[in-house]
Amino acid sequence: EWQTTYQRCQCQRTTFRHEDNGWRSLKNLCLAYLNAVDDPIAVELAQVQYQKADNMTDQAGALSALRDRQGAIRDHLYEDFAQRWQKEALVMDKWFALHAASLRSDTLSRTEALLQHPCFSLKNPNKARAVLGSFGRNLLHFHAADGSGYRFLAKKVLEIDQFNPQVASRLVSLFNRWTRLEPQRQQLMKQELTTIVQQPGLSRDVFEIVSKSLEATH
């Protein structure tokens, strides 16, 4: 049914109509659901859509559908996209965000590698939010049971706080719901918050957010 709906959403018109936005949105949703199962046909559909796309919505939609996939096709398309759009900062932000939001088992290591990418700068607020903000909203990897996601983001918050407290304070807000987690993750997240708040030279922006978050237990 998803595949049938996907095919129905293909727009073959030569002139743009506003309702085409809705068809493209539904088509990309179908493609994402198709790629949620282990089916090579779904991967092929995403590959064809990417290669034939004449608009950013369809091209990015194909990458989004393949976001959690393993395999050479997925990696090739992601690399091709970066090569095509490396000079377009806002487009690359989409690419960075997809990597950091992935559910793949290697997401943390790939996210760490993104920080060394030629198109990335930690001092660029948009880039920091694209990578670190997306990772902080990645429920699987930010909340990894071993606390690795918390340690990674806390370290970067402290680093950014040295030159941009406003961005650092927004990122550290991703820790604010720690009291709603189960005891193990609560303890791991609280540990990172405590490390942050005790850091010498911490900005007022970050200190206020973290100290108020820690007071939630008192």
Which residue type sits at 175? Answer: F
pLDDT digits (tens, 9 = 90+) for 8-31: 988 655 566 777 788 899 999 999
Q: Rounded distance, CA 211 to CA 218, Å?
A: 11
> Quick one: pLDDT at residue 216?
73
Q: Rounded distance, CA 34 to CA 41, Å?
A: 9
> Quick one: pLDDT at residue 17?
72
Q: How far is CA 157 from CA 48, 189, 192, in A?
A: 40, 14, 11
pLDDT digits (tens, 9 = 90+) for 157-186: 999 999 999 999 999 999 999 999 999 999
Percentage of residues in the chain having pLDDT higher than 90: 89
> Quick one: pLDDT at residue 77?
97
Q: What DSSP string runs through 110-141?
A: HHHHHTTSTT--TTSHHHHIIIIIHHHT-HHH
Of all residues in the chain, what percent are helix, strand and coil, respectively (each to 5)?
Answer: 70, 0, 30
Q: Rounded distance, CA 124 to CA 114, Å?
A: 14
Residue 164 is given by DSSP the state -
pLDDT digits (tens, 9 = 90+) for 114-141: 999 999 999 999 999 999 999 999 999 9
Pull the structure tokens for residue 165: 């407290």
